[in-house]
Amino acid sequence: MYSIEEIKQALSFVNDPDLKKDLVSLNMIDNIQIKENQVSFDLVLTTLACPFKENIKNDCIKAIHQHVSDNLLVEINLKSSGVRIAQAAEQSIAKIKHIIAVAAGKGGVGKSTVAANLAVALAKAGAKTGLVDADIYGPSVPIMFDLQNQTPLVEEKDGKQWMIPIEKYGVKLMSIGFFVKDNQASVWRGPMISNVMRQLIIDTAWDELDYLVVDLPPGTGDIQLTLAQIIPHAMAILVTTPQQVALADVRKAASMFNHDGINMPLLGVVENMSYFTPAELPDNKYYIFGKNGGKLLADELNAPLLAQIPIVQSISESGDKGCPVSYETHSISADIFNLLASKIVQEVAIRTYNNTKF
Ligand code: ADP
Protein backbone atom coordinates (compact mmCIF):
# COMPACT_ATOMS: atom_id res chain seq x y z
CA MET A 1 0.00 0.00 0.00
CA TYR A 2 1.29 3.45 -0.88
CA SER A 3 0.91 6.55 1.27
CA ILE A 4 -0.48 9.99 0.50
CA GLU A 5 2.91 11.42 1.51
CA GLU A 6 4.67 9.33 -1.15
CA ILE A 7 2.29 10.62 -3.81
CA LYS A 8 2.76 14.21 -2.65
CA GLN A 9 6.49 13.74 -2.64
CA ALA A 10 6.40 12.51 -6.24
CA LEU A 11 4.14 15.36 -7.36
CA SER A 12 6.48 17.89 -5.79
CA PHE A 13 8.79 17.13 -8.73
CA VAL A 14 6.22 18.58 -11.15
CA ASN A 15 6.39 22.30 -11.84
CA ASP A 16 3.65 24.61 -13.10
CA PRO A 17 5.09 25.89 -16.40
CA ASP A 18 3.90 29.46 -15.75
CA LEU A 19 4.78 29.88 -12.13
CA LYS A 20 7.94 27.72 -12.20
CA LYS A 21 7.09 26.30 -8.81
CA ASP A 22 6.00 22.80 -7.89
CA LEU A 23 2.33 21.80 -7.79
CA VAL A 24 2.35 20.80 -4.13
CA SER A 25 3.74 24.10 -2.82
CA LEU A 26 1.33 25.92 -5.13
CA ASN A 27 -1.50 24.08 -3.40
CA MET A 28 -2.71 22.69 -6.73
CA ILE A 29 -3.07 19.07 -5.53
CA ASP A 30 -6.11 18.18 -3.49
CA ASN A 31 -8.11 15.20 -2.32
CA ILE A 32 -5.52 12.44 -2.86
CA GLN A 33 -7.09 8.97 -2.55
CA ILE A 34 -5.36 5.63 -2.82
CA LYS A 35 -7.10 2.30 -3.42
CA GLU A 36 -4.94 -0.75 -3.98
CA ASN A 37 -3.18 -0.07 -7.28
CA GLN A 38 -5.02 3.11 -8.08
CA VAL A 39 -4.42 6.70 -7.05
CA SER A 40 -6.73 9.61 -7.77
CA PHE A 41 -6.45 13.31 -6.96
CA ASP A 42 -7.76 16.73 -7.97
CA LEU A 43 -5.49 18.98 -10.00
CA VAL A 44 -6.67 22.48 -9.16
CA LEU A 45 -6.03 24.94 -11.99
CA THR A 46 -6.85 28.64 -11.93
CA THR A 47 -8.93 28.11 -15.02
CA LEU A 48 -10.03 24.99 -16.88
CA ALA A 49 -8.96 26.81 -20.03
CA CYS A 50 -5.31 26.45 -18.91
CA PRO A 51 -3.33 25.76 -22.11
CA PHE A 52 -0.90 23.49 -20.26
CA LYS A 53 -3.38 21.20 -18.56
CA GLU A 54 -2.58 18.10 -20.65
CA ASN A 55 1.19 18.62 -20.18
CA ILE A 56 0.78 19.02 -16.44
CA LYS A 57 -1.39 15.88 -16.27
CA ASN A 58 1.19 13.85 -18.21
CA ASP A 59 4.01 15.16 -16.00
CA CYS A 60 2.05 14.10 -12.90
CA ILE A 61 1.56 10.57 -14.23
CA LYS A 62 5.23 10.32 -15.18
CA ALA A 63 6.37 11.56 -11.76
CA ILE A 64 4.19 9.04 -9.91
CA HIS A 65 5.40 6.20 -12.12
CA GLN A 66 9.00 7.24 -11.70
CA HIS A 67 9.05 8.01 -7.97
CA VAL A 68 6.38 5.67 -6.55
CA SER A 69 5.59 2.75 -8.85
CA ASP A 70 4.96 2.35 -12.54
CA ASN A 71 2.19 -0.14 -11.76
CA LEU A 72 -0.05 2.54 -10.31
CA LEU A 73 -3.14 3.60 -12.25
CA VAL A 74 -3.40 7.38 -12.00
CA GLU A 75 -6.73 9.22 -12.25
CA ILE A 76 -6.57 13.02 -12.32
CA ASN A 77 -9.66 15.19 -11.96
CA LEU A 78 -9.28 18.73 -13.24
CA LYS A 79 -10.85 21.39 -11.03
CA SER A 80 -10.93 25.15 -11.30
CA SER A 81 -9.73 27.18 -8.34
CA GLY A 82 -12.35 29.86 -9.02
CA VAL A 83 -14.58 28.55 -6.28
CA ARG A 84 -11.70 28.14 -3.88
CA ILE A 85 -10.54 31.70 -4.53
CA ALA A 86 -14.04 33.01 -4.02
CA GLN A 87 -14.28 31.21 -0.68
CA ALA A 88 -10.92 32.54 0.49
CA ALA A 89 -11.92 35.98 -0.68
CA GLU A 90 -15.12 35.78 1.34
CA GLN A 91 -13.02 35.51 4.50
CA SER A 92 -10.27 37.97 3.83
CA ILE A 93 -12.43 40.73 2.42
CA ALA A 94 -15.24 40.20 4.89
CA LYS A 95 -14.38 43.47 6.66
CA ILE A 96 -14.63 45.52 3.47
CA LYS A 97 -18.06 47.09 3.17
CA HIS A 98 -18.08 48.06 -0.50
CA ILE A 99 -15.83 47.24 -3.45
CA ILE A 100 -15.86 49.55 -6.45
CA ALA A 101 -14.23 48.22 -9.61
CA VAL A 102 -13.11 50.91 -12.07
CA ALA A 103 -13.19 49.59 -15.63
CA ALA A 104 -12.62 50.84 -19.17
CA GLY A 105 -12.90 49.36 -22.62
CA LYS A 106 -9.38 50.45 -23.56
CA GLY A 107 -6.28 52.13 -22.12
CA GLY A 108 -5.56 55.84 -21.99
CA VAL A 109 -9.06 57.10 -21.18
CA GLY A 110 -8.11 58.14 -17.63
CA LYS A 111 -9.31 55.08 -15.73
CA SER A 112 -6.37 55.11 -13.30
CA THR A 113 -6.64 58.87 -12.84
CA VAL A 114 -10.30 58.48 -11.91
CA ALA A 115 -9.61 55.50 -9.61
CA ALA A 116 -6.80 57.28 -7.72
CA ASN A 117 -8.66 60.57 -7.36
CA LEU A 118 -11.84 58.82 -6.33
CA ALA A 119 -9.99 56.88 -3.60
CA VAL A 120 -8.32 60.04 -2.26
CA ALA A 121 -11.61 61.99 -2.35
CA LEU A 122 -13.41 59.20 -0.45
CA ALA A 123 -10.66 59.15 2.19
CA LYS A 124 -10.76 62.94 2.48
CA ALA A 125 -14.49 62.72 3.07
CA GLY A 126 -13.78 60.52 6.09
CA ALA A 127 -14.28 57.03 4.66
CA LYS A 128 -11.79 54.26 5.38
CA THR A 129 -10.54 53.63 1.88
CA GLY A 130 -8.21 51.27 0.03
CA LEU A 131 -7.04 51.24 -3.57
CA VAL A 132 -5.82 48.21 -5.49
CA ASP A 133 -3.98 48.99 -8.69
CA ALA A 134 -4.48 45.80 -10.67
CA ASP A 135 -3.65 47.30 -14.05
CA ILE A 136 -0.99 44.95 -15.35
CA TYR A 137 -0.57 46.97 -18.54
CA GLY A 138 0.42 50.16 -16.75
CA PRO A 139 0.42 50.22 -12.95
CA SER A 140 -0.10 53.84 -11.92
CA VAL A 141 -0.08 53.95 -8.12
CA PRO A 142 3.72 54.04 -7.66
CA ILE A 143 3.91 57.23 -9.78
CA MET A 144 0.61 58.88 -8.81
CA PHE A 145 1.35 58.42 -5.10
CA ASP A 146 5.10 58.97 -5.36
CA LEU A 147 5.90 55.50 -4.09
CA GLN A 148 8.43 54.28 -6.63
CA ASN A 149 10.84 51.62 -5.37
CA GLN A 150 8.67 50.87 -2.35
CA THR A 151 7.69 47.34 -1.42
CA PRO A 152 4.98 46.45 1.07
CA LEU A 153 6.00 44.69 4.28
CA VAL A 154 4.88 41.14 4.94
CA GLU A 155 3.65 40.02 8.36
CA GLU A 156 2.71 36.62 9.63
CA LYS A 157 -0.58 36.23 11.46
CA ASP A 158 -2.49 33.04 12.30
CA GLY A 159 0.02 31.01 10.30
CA LYS A 160 -0.57 33.06 7.14
CA GLN A 161 1.58 35.66 5.41
CA TRP A 162 -0.16 39.01 4.93
CA MET A 163 1.00 41.93 2.84
CA ILE A 164 0.65 45.26 4.58
CA PRO A 165 -0.75 47.96 2.28
CA ILE A 166 1.24 51.20 2.06
CA GLU A 167 -0.75 54.18 3.33
CA LYS A 168 -0.56 57.61 1.71
CA TYR A 169 -2.97 60.57 1.55
CA GLY A 170 -5.25 58.57 3.84
CA VAL A 171 -5.59 55.65 1.40
CA LYS A 172 -4.33 52.09 1.91
CA LEU A 173 -2.56 51.16 -1.30
CA MET A 174 -1.59 47.95 -3.01
CA SER A 175 -0.21 47.91 -6.55
CA ILE A 176 1.11 45.37 -8.98
CA GLY A 177 3.75 48.04 -9.66
CA PHE A 178 5.24 47.48 -6.17
CA PHE A 179 6.36 44.05 -7.34
CA VAL A 180 7.21 44.28 -11.03
CA LYS A 181 9.15 46.85 -12.93
CA ASP A 182 8.11 48.58 -16.15
CA ASN A 183 5.82 46.55 -18.34
CA GLN A 184 6.90 43.09 -17.28
CA ALA A 185 3.47 42.09 -16.08
CA SER A 186 1.81 42.74 -19.41
CA VAL A 187 3.20 39.51 -20.87
CA TRP A 188 1.72 37.31 -18.15
CA ARG A 189 -0.91 34.76 -18.98
CA GLY A 190 -4.07 33.63 -17.21
CA PRO A 191 -2.92 31.44 -14.30
CA MET A 192 -0.08 33.75 -13.33
CA ILE A 193 -2.31 36.79 -13.41
CA SER A 194 -4.99 35.12 -11.31
CA ASN A 195 -2.41 34.24 -8.69
CA VAL A 196 -1.11 37.78 -8.48
CA MET A 197 -4.61 39.26 -8.30
CA ARG A 198 -5.38 36.86 -5.55
CA GLN A 199 -2.36 38.06 -3.60
CA LEU A 200 -3.06 41.74 -4.20
CA ILE A 201 -6.61 41.48 -2.95
CA ILE A 202 -6.97 38.43 -0.74
CA ASP A 203 -3.55 38.22 0.89
CA THR A 204 -3.47 41.88 1.87
CA ALA A 205 -4.26 42.93 5.42
CA TRP A 206 -6.86 45.58 4.58
CA ASP A 207 -8.55 45.38 7.94
CA GLU A 208 -11.78 47.38 8.08
CA LEU A 209 -12.59 49.44 5.00
CA ASP A 210 -15.67 51.36 3.90
CA TYR A 211 -14.56 51.32 0.26
CA LEU A 212 -12.00 49.39 -1.69
CA VAL A 213 -11.47 50.89 -5.14
CA VAL A 214 -10.05 48.41 -7.66
CA ASP A 215 -8.35 49.81 -10.77
CA LEU A 216 -8.94 47.03 -13.31
CA PRO A 217 -6.82 46.50 -16.38
CA PRO A 218 -8.56 47.82 -19.52
CA GLY A 219 -10.49 45.36 -21.65
CA THR A 220 -12.65 42.35 -21.11
CA GLY A 221 -10.39 39.32 -20.95
CA ASP A 222 -9.58 36.49 -18.64
CA ILE A 223 -8.13 38.75 -16.00
CA GLN A 224 -11.27 40.81 -15.56
CA LEU A 225 -13.29 37.63 -15.19
CA THR A 226 -10.85 36.31 -12.60
CA LEU A 227 -11.10 39.54 -10.68
CA ALA A 228 -14.84 39.39 -10.79
CA GLN A 229 -14.62 35.94 -9.22
CA ILE A 230 -12.33 37.20 -6.48
CA ILE A 231 -14.55 40.16 -5.63
CA PRO A 232 -18.03 38.81 -6.18
CA HIS A 233 -19.80 41.65 -4.38
CA ALA A 234 -18.17 44.50 -6.24
CA MET A 235 -20.01 47.20 -8.13
CA ALA A 236 -18.49 48.70 -11.26
CA ILE A 237 -17.98 52.14 -12.74
CA LEU A 238 -17.09 52.51 -16.38
CA VAL A 239 -14.74 55.27 -17.55
CA THR A 240 -14.92 56.45 -21.12
CA THR A 241 -13.96 59.43 -23.22
CA PRO A 242 -16.78 60.96 -25.31
CA GLN A 243 -15.65 59.66 -28.66
CA GLN A 244 -15.18 56.16 -27.42
CA VAL A 245 -18.86 55.39 -27.42
CA ALA A 246 -18.72 54.72 -31.11
CA LEU A 247 -16.48 51.80 -30.36
CA ALA A 248 -17.69 48.36 -29.49
CA ASP A 249 -15.13 47.77 -26.72
CA VAL A 250 -16.72 50.05 -24.15
CA ARG A 251 -20.06 48.31 -24.62
CA LYS A 252 -18.26 45.00 -24.36
CA ALA A 253 -16.77 46.13 -21.04
CA ALA A 254 -20.25 47.04 -19.84
CA SER A 255 -21.74 43.74 -20.93
CA MET A 256 -18.94 41.85 -19.18
CA PHE A 257 -20.50 42.77 -15.86
CA ASN A 258 -23.64 40.92 -16.85
CA HIS A 259 -21.67 37.89 -17.90
CA ASP A 260 -22.88 34.52 -16.60
CA GLY A 261 -21.99 34.16 -12.96
CA ILE A 262 -20.67 37.71 -12.56
CA ASN A 263 -23.63 40.06 -12.34
CA MET A 264 -21.62 43.01 -11.11
CA PRO A 265 -24.00 45.98 -10.90
CA LEU A 266 -22.98 49.01 -12.94
CA LEU A 267 -23.00 52.05 -10.64
CA GLY A 268 -22.65 54.44 -13.53
CA VAL A 269 -20.53 55.96 -16.26
CA VAL A 270 -17.76 58.55 -15.83
CA GLU A 271 -17.10 60.62 -18.93
CA ASN A 272 -13.50 61.81 -18.82
CA MET A 273 -11.80 64.42 -21.01
CA SER A 274 -15.27 65.76 -21.77
CA TYR A 275 -14.13 69.20 -22.88
CA PHE A 276 -11.28 71.69 -22.67
CA THR A 277 -11.49 75.21 -21.28
CA PRO A 278 -8.49 77.48 -21.87
CA ALA A 279 -7.48 79.50 -18.81
CA GLU A 280 -7.74 82.77 -20.76
CA LEU A 281 -11.30 81.95 -21.95
CA PRO A 282 -12.97 80.47 -18.87
CA ASP A 283 -16.44 80.52 -20.39
CA ASN A 284 -15.51 78.57 -23.49
CA LYS A 285 -15.78 74.82 -23.67
CA TYR A 286 -14.15 72.99 -26.55
CA TYR A 287 -15.52 69.51 -27.11
CA ILE A 288 -12.34 68.07 -28.54
CA PHE A 289 -13.47 64.45 -28.44
CA GLY A 290 -17.12 65.04 -29.28
CA LYS A 291 -19.97 66.01 -27.02
CA ASN A 292 -21.99 63.99 -24.52
CA GLY A 293 -20.81 60.57 -25.66
CA GLY A 294 -20.69 59.40 -22.05
CA LYS A 295 -24.22 60.64 -21.46
CA LEU A 296 -25.51 58.69 -24.48
CA LEU A 297 -23.71 55.59 -23.28
CA ALA A 298 -25.12 55.96 -19.76
CA ASP A 299 -28.64 56.29 -21.18
CA GLU A 300 -28.12 53.27 -23.37
CA LEU A 301 -26.91 51.23 -20.41
CA ASN A 302 -29.68 52.59 -18.23
CA ALA A 303 -27.10 53.77 -15.69
CA PRO A 304 -26.43 57.22 -14.23
CA LEU A 305 -23.81 59.54 -15.69
CA LEU A 306 -21.69 60.11 -12.59
CA ALA A 307 -19.44 62.91 -13.86
CA GLN A 308 -18.20 64.80 -16.90
CA ILE A 309 -14.58 65.58 -16.14
CA PRO A 310 -12.88 68.25 -18.27
CA ILE A 311 -9.34 68.12 -19.59
CA VAL A 312 -7.33 70.05 -17.02
CA GLN A 313 -3.59 70.37 -16.98
CA SER A 314 -3.37 70.11 -13.19
CA ILE A 315 -5.13 66.72 -13.23
CA SER A 316 -2.38 65.32 -15.38
CA GLU A 317 0.48 67.23 -13.72
CA SER A 318 -0.48 66.33 -10.17
CA GLY A 319 -0.65 62.66 -11.16
CA ASP A 320 2.85 62.86 -12.59
CA LYS A 321 4.11 64.67 -9.49
CA GLY A 322 2.84 61.98 -7.15
CA CYS A 323 -0.09 63.68 -5.46
CA PRO A 324 -3.56 63.22 -6.98
CA VAL A 325 -5.32 66.54 -7.57
CA SER A 326 -8.24 65.55 -5.34
CA TYR A 327 -5.91 65.82 -2.32
CA GLU A 328 -5.92 69.61 -2.73
CA THR A 329 -8.29 71.45 -0.42
CA HIS A 330 -9.40 74.37 -2.55
CA SER A 331 -9.37 73.71 -6.25
CA ILE A 332 -11.93 73.33 -9.00
CA SER A 333 -10.36 70.07 -10.14
CA ALA A 334 -10.45 68.62 -6.63
CA ASP A 335 -14.11 69.59 -6.36
CA ILE A 336 -14.94 67.63 -9.51
CA PHE A 337 -13.63 64.48 -7.88
CA ASN A 338 -15.22 65.33 -4.51
CA LEU A 339 -18.54 65.55 -6.30
CA LEU A 340 -17.90 62.26 -8.10
CA ALA A 341 -17.08 60.60 -4.76
CA SER A 342 -20.28 61.85 -3.15
CA LYS A 343 -22.34 60.68 -6.16
CA ILE A 344 -20.76 57.25 -5.88
CA VAL A 345 -21.38 57.09 -2.14
CA GLN A 346 -25.04 57.87 -2.88
CA GLU A 347 -25.37 55.31 -5.66
CA VAL A 348 -23.70 52.61 -3.54
CA ALA A 349 -26.04 53.39 -0.67
CA ILE A 350 -29.12 53.21 -2.91
CA ARG A 351 -28.10 49.88 -4.38
CA THR A 352 -27.09 48.39 -1.06
CA TYR A 353 -30.44 49.49 0.38
CA ASN A 354 -32.33 48.01 -2.56
CA ASN A 355 -30.48 44.72 -2.20
CA THR A 356 -31.21 44.40 1.48
CA LYS A 357 -34.84 45.49 1.26
CA PHE A 358 -37.42 42.82 1.93
P1 ADP B 1 -5.79 54.81 -18.21
O2 ADP B 1 -5.71 54.34 -16.79
O3 ADP B 1 -7.18 54.75 -18.77
O4 ADP B 1 -4.81 54.13 -19.12
P5 ADP B 1 -4.61 57.26 -17.23
O6 ADP B 1 -5.41 57.55 -16.02
O7 ADP B 1 -3.25 56.68 -17.04
O8 ADP B 1 -5.43 56.36 -18.26
O9 ADP B 1 -4.55 58.62 -18.06
C10 ADP B 1 -3.83 58.72 -19.27
C11 ADP B 1 -3.16 60.09 -19.32
O12 ADP B 1 -4.16 61.11 -19.42
C13 ADP B 1 -2.35 60.42 -18.08
O14 ADP B 1 -1.21 61.13 -18.45
C15 ADP B 1 -3.28 61.31 -17.25
O16 ADP B 1 -2.57 62.20 -16.42
C17 ADP B 1 -4.03 62.03 -18.34
N18 ADP B 1 -5.41 62.43 -17.95
C19 ADP B 1 -6.40 61.61 -17.54
N20 ADP B 1 -7.52 62.32 -17.30
C21 ADP B 1 -7.23 63.62 -17.54
C22 ADP B 1 -7.97 64.86 -17.47
N23 ADP B 1 -9.25 64.87 -17.12
N24 ADP B 1 -7.32 66.00 -17.78
C25 ADP B 1 -6.02 66.00 -18.15
N26 ADP B 1 -5.28 64.88 -18.25
C27 ADP B 1 -5.87 63.70 -17.96
Cα(269)–Cα(271) distance, rounded to whole angstroms?
Answer: 6
Cβ contacts of 312 within 8 Å, gap of 6 or more: 325, 332, 333
Q: What is the DSSP letter of 179?
A: T
Question: Whole-angstrom Cα distance, residue 318 to residue 314?
Answer: 6
Residue 179's pLDDT is what?
A: 85
Question: Per mean pLDDT, which range of 230-244, 264-278, 313-327, 330-344 is the poorest?
Answer: 230-244
Give the model's pLDDT for residue 118.
97
Element (H, E) at 344: helix 332-356
Distance separating alpha carbons of residues 290 and 297, to the nearest angstrom = 13
User: What is the distance in A from the centroid of ligand 1 to the CA of 193?
Assistant: 24
- DSSP letter for 199, please: H
Q: Whose CA is nearest to atom 27 of ligand 1?
A: 316
Lowest mean pLDDT of 80-84, 165-169, 248-252, name the range: 80-84
- Does pLDDT of 252 surpass 90? no
Greater model confidence, 28 or 68: 68
**Does ligand 1 come within 6 angstroms of the Cβ of 140?**
yes
- Mean pLDDT for 15-32 is 84
Q: Percentage of the chain with pLDDT > 70? A: 86
pTM of the model: 0.77
pLDDT value at position 49? 63
State which ligand 1 atom lies nearest to the alpha carbon of 309: 23
Ligand 1: centre distance to CA 117 (Å)? 11
The shares of helix, strand and coil residues in the chain, as percent rounded to the nearest 5, are 40, 25, 35
At residue 227, the pLDDT reads 75
pLDDT at 175: 94
CB of 61 closer than 8 Å to CB of 71: no
- Please give the Cα distance from 324 to 291 (Å, whole number): 26
Each residue of 205-234: pLDDT tens digit?
Answer: 998 999 999 998 887 666 777 777 777 778
- Residue 358 pLDDT: 44
Instruction: With a cut of 70, say whether residue 92 has pLDDT above it.
Output: no
Q: Ligand 1 pocket, 272 CB below 6 A? A: yes
- Strand duo 38-45 + 29-35: pairing: antiparallel
